[in-house]
Amino acid sequence: MQKKKQIAVLGYGVVGSGVVELFYQNQEKIEKNTGYSMDIKYILDLRTFEGDPYADKVVHDINVILQDPEVGYVAECMGGVNPAFEFVSSCLKAGKSVSTSNKQLVAEKGDILLQTAKENNFFFEASVGGAIPIMRPLHTCLAANDLYAVAGILNGTTNFILEKMFCDQMSFADALALAQQLGYAERNPSADVDGADACRKICIISSLVFGKHVYPDSVFTKGIRDIQLEDVKLAQQLGGTVKLIAQVVREDDGKILPTVMPMVVMQDSLLSHVNGVFNAIMVWGDGIDKTMFYGRGAGKMPTASAVLGDIIDEVKSNGTVPAQTWETSSDTDFIANIDTFVAPRMFRTSTCAADVAKQAAGQVGVTVRMHTENGFLVSACTERIAAKLTDALQGMGVTVYSQIPVLKDHSKFSE
């Protein structure tokens, strides 16, 4: 008789309980799809879950899982680096395939775990974009391309806050309070609003697309805390919106520039229409031009869907298809300096006549593309030129309250 494929789930919180729930909801379908009988044998958690239908599967010691040769597949849904790193390493060394939803673990330790996983497999579809299939498409469906840029909305909480500012004219503080009330933002919302969560996700994407591990420390990261309602209103007047954009672009010299920052996204970009807690990822390549992936970027069942998708794939391929992988990086020479970042920019100012804006822009070698009485868009320039423009305006008695880069379309197709 064919051996049953046994799974262990590490962590019985939001995502872990989603994995168990979705598995039993669709067990018959999943088994039909894989051609194997499958089950969840253990759930590892420090807590006990009296009255839970799966309480009998709960164990408190990772060694029970490590020492059980029947368990071939592990879903890591604990979050954080400790003890997840130690547990995942041990599972891989014990010959088990691991799927994780833990972006911090992959962003900080992915290269080491991929090395450890050589003989079996380490998957992390759920670590970026929740339910959205993005890791596997980047690695397989789009593998014929030279992919040179990726830009996305990778944090649902900040996207919800910015949408509330845009649509309901709420202040940042009120929109954040609402996000907390609805359970999207944590009581300490820093990882979301200051960009660390999006940073981890763009690290994972950059590593996979460009083949070398990009650590969070190497990514220029700026969150949305300083965005004022007036910035969002001005972007709206100029035909755009403000989004927290996580982006990586390969520059002409071959270096890559990963960034996380609030950007103005003009209405002609599909990304400007991604609202609420949804995520979207735009990928540019020489064959595809551009392709966008869209869906629920977080939450119990969407994330569980991606974790189980990895396990199903691994069961079907029987370990014959190696996981997506990249090299470890001992230096950061392949990462460009933020000073090389070039983008059109939106300036929000005190009242500024069009001819004053044009004159100041002309002095620093940029042109004004669109203008309102309290701000304007200028052509692409570096941060250094933007600072010079700020000085020039101030010399003319105009105060600059903010300047926000505008997202470019990286398309190289003429039509």
Quick one: which segment of 7-15, 44-52, 152-160, 230-238 binds ligand HSE (CB under 6 A)?
A: 152-160
- Which of 157, 241 has the CB closer to ligand HSE? 157
* Interface of this chain with ligand HSE, residues 179 to 208, rule: CB under 6 A: 192, 197
> Minimum Å distance from CB 404 to ligand HSE?
21
In three-state secondary structure terms, 227 is: coil
Quick one: which segment of 153-161, 168-176, 372-380, 405-413 binds ligand HSE (CB under 6 A)?
A: 153-161
> How does DSSP classify residue 169?
-
What residue has token string 């051609």?
Answer: 35
> Minimum Å distance from CB 102 to ligand HSE?
10
Cα(299)–Cα(131) distance, integer angstroms: 9
- Which of 121, 155 has the CB closer to ligand HSE? 155
Tell me if 6 contacts ligand HSE by CB under 6 A.
no
For residues 84-121, one letter each, b for 16 or more C-beta atoms within 10 angstroms of the residue's C-beta and e for the rest, the string is bbebbbbbbebebbbbbbbbbbbbbbbbebbebbeebb
103 catalytic, yes or no?
Answer: no
| Cα-only R_g, the chain | 23
Sequence length of the chain is: 415
> Minimum Å distance from CB 155 to ligand HSE?
4
Tell me if 104 contacts ligand HSE by CB under 6 A.
no
Tell me if 45 contacts ligand HSE by CB under 6 A.
no
Task: Give which of 125, 130, 151 is closest to 291, Cα–Cα.
Answer: 151
Quick one: which segment of 28-36, 82-90, 149-157, 305-313 binds ligand HSE (CB under 6 A)?
A: 149-157
> Minimum Å distance from CB 223 to ligand HSE?
12
> Minimum Å distance from CB 124 to ligand HSE?
12
> Minimum Å distance from CB 25 to ligand HSE?
22
- Which of 72, 295 has the CB closer to ligand HSE? 295
Cα(282)–Cα(243) distance, integer angstroms: 14
Tell me if 155 contacts ligand HSE by CB under 6 A.
yes
Catalytic residue among 57, 96, 201, 233: 201
- Which of 96, 310 has the CB closer to ligand HSE? 310
Strands 343-349 and 400-405: antiparallel
Under 8 Å between Cβ of 168 and 328: no
Task: Give which of 138, 126, 78 is closest to 99, Cα–Cα.
Answer: 126
Under 8 Å between Cβ of 102 and 80: yes
Q: Which helix H or strand E contains 146, and what residues bound it?
A: none
Under 8 Å between Cβ of 152 and 246: yes
Tell me if 157 contacts ligand HSE by CB under 6 A.
yes
- Which of 131, 298 has the CB closer to ligand HSE? 298
Quick one: which segment of 43-51, 151-159, 241-249, 342-350 binds ligand HSE (CB under 6 A)?
A: 151-159
Residues 281-300: x where in contact with ligand HSE by CB under 6 A, - otherwise, as a string:
----------------xx--
Cα(342)–Cα(362) distance, integer angstroms: 17
Strand partners, 335: 256
Tell me if 156 contacts ligand HSE by CB under 6 A.
yes
Task: Give which of 48, 47, 87 is closest to 71, Cα–Cα.
Answer: 87
Q: How many residues bind ligand HSE (CB under 6 A)?
A: 7
| CB atoms closer than 10 angstroms to residue 165 | 26
> Minimum Å distance from CB 153 to ligand HSE?
9
Quick one: which segment of 145-153, 155-163, 220-228, 323-331 binds ligand HSE (CB under 6 A)?
A: 155-163
Strand partners, 16: none
Instruction: Name the residues that contact ligand HSE, by CB under 6 A.
Output: 155-157, 192, 197, 297-298
Report, as residue numbers or ranges, the catalytic residues: 201
